[in-house]
Amino acid sequence: MGTMSASFEQWLEFVFNNPVRKRAWYWDEDFEPRWEALELRDALIVQYMTRLFLEPGGLRPYSIDQVEQGLWFLLGESSPGCSSKALLRREAAIVDRVACIHAMSTFFRNFILAVTPGHFDPKAPIIGVTGSAYMWWDIFPMQSYLRSHVPGPTRAAALLSKLAVFKPNAELYSAVLKEMADEMEFEIEPEIHQATLSVMSEVLDLPSETCQFSALHGLGHWHAHHPEQVEQIVDAFLTRHKDLRPHLIEYAGRARLGSVL
């Protein structure tokens, strides 16, 4: 393809039209040159993921196992393609990244809801698309950020305060700025935080335990950074839904306290 970026259809084929095996295709030795040949910048990846989430009918040619494998590739924080990290980096406009996250709600409503069981047992082996749905917010790279950061001044802010106190020479100044730049990549904007919480809240109301467990699983992890908001979302969910099965009520209580694995 030379220097021309892959089309949406070519990207879809690359991500989903692959053999299903224990060691996924994206760990093959030839992955890097194949991925780089697509010439995809963050802004285009965000655009393509948004279209996929809004129009999941494009997945019909692929088996459900191929879809599950492709979702792990797109969302997984350890995935070599790092596609979902494009939602956290700042190359793409914030309005586009937020829109992509909001589109995930549509994907759950129009795809996950249709292909996963309505009942969910968290103690049973979690496999297939059900597994990727349940783990959605656990493998999403923002979860790693929430694990490693606590509320309060960011490291970048602390470095700025150092510059205000000291009068660094040019070499030290450059070193501090470089460290700040590395940190800023993972200083996620408030709009991204709120978009993820909004999607979890919407998915929580879908008539499916698979979707509800997925949202509660994510909310349980987000509790560390947004305790009051998570507690309000879970309390409102329990108030609206009076016919929940006991194991879902118990899990909601754990998510409300941030006590999920």
159-187 as b/e: b if 16+ CB within 10 A = eeeeeeeeeeeeeeeeebeeebeeeeebe
The pLDDT mean for the chain works out to: 88
User: Are the CB atoms for 103 and 53 separated by under 8 Å?
Assistant: yes
In this model, does residue 106 exceed pLDDT 60? yes
User: Are the CB atoms for 81 and 74 separated by under 8 Å?
Assistant: yes
CA distance linking residue 86 with residue 10, whole number of Å = 19
Give me the pLDDT at residue 78, please: 87
Q: Residue type at 55?
A: E
Q: 155 or 7: whose pLDDT is higher? A: 7
Task: Tell me the whole-structure pTM to 2 decimals.
Answer: 0.85
Give me the pLDDT at residue 110, please: 98
Task: Summarize pLDDT for 139-198 with one digit per residue, the tens.
Answer: 999 887 776 554 454 444 544 554 555 556 666 655 554 444 444 456 899 999 999 999
Give me the pLDDT at residue 166, please: 54
CB neighbours of 190 closer than 8 A, spacing ≥ 6? none
Q: 150 or 214: whose pLDDT is higher? A: 214
CA distance linking residue 211 with residue 133, whole number of Å = 7
User: Are the CB atoms for 226 and 192 separated by under 8 Å?
Assistant: no
Distances (CA, A) of 244 to 218, 223, 237, 249: 19, 22, 10, 6
